[in-house]
Amino acid sequence: MSAPIRDESAERDDLPLLRGERLRLRGFRSDDLGDYYALHADPAVMRYWSFPAWTQRSQAEDYLARAIAARCNQSMLCWAIALRDSDRLIGAATLFDIHREQGRAELGYALQSAHWGRGYAQEALSLVMEHAYDRLGLRRLEADIDPRNQASCRLVERLGFRREGVLRERWQVAGECQDSAIYGLLAREWQARGD
């Protein structure tokens, strides 16, 4: 009996595959749903996010459908962070609010808590940043981080981002007001790191 024919057109991946030493950043697929839901349903991962942890699988279905549809959208690029050996989703990295005429975009990321502390987030963000600066020709990247999330602040600082200011009580999540530390990194600063 032959294998079933799979309709690849619904999941054609228009994103470039970004390969690191231990990771692959690829487009989302419908079979990522369980892992994608688990990522956003983890209260530890979502502690400093701009919305609370998910409680229903339908929330993941909606978000994942938008991420898959965004592959051709020039204002947002969403990658699944997957381990090279298993190709299983362990996180997500996104370039969003891409303004090509201004040469800027925002960077977002999340990693399953079981994979924290291994350098995966730094590897994944480095791949996305290289794509943003070298392939897309962006001039500036920004990151919006709750200043209480010290691990995330340290991560972007290791990558060369500078803290440019704080927006007080920018988000209200589950009845709690949260500040935003705004970080920025210019292409010339990123390129100077390699010299």
Region of 95 please: left (phi>0), alpha (psi -120 to 50) or beta: beta
Give tens-digit pLDDT for 152-163: 999 999 999 999
* Model pLDDT for residues 37-82, shown as the tens digit of each residue: 999 999 989 888 888 889 988 889 988 887 777 666 677 899 999 9
Terminal-residue alpha carbon distance, the chain:
57
What does residue 25 show for φ and ψ, rounded to 5 degrees? -105, 120
Domains of the chain in sequence order: 15-193 (3.40.630.30)
Amino acid at 114: A
Q: What is the pTM of this model?
A: 0.87
Residue 181 has pLDDT above 80, yes or no: yes
Per-residue pLDDT, averaged over 131-144, amounts to 96
Q: In terms of Cα–Cα distance, which of 54, 29, 32 is closest to 41?
A: 54
**Strands, E, within the chain: which ranges?**
18-19, 23-26, 76-83, 89-99, 104-111, 140-145, 162-173, 176-186
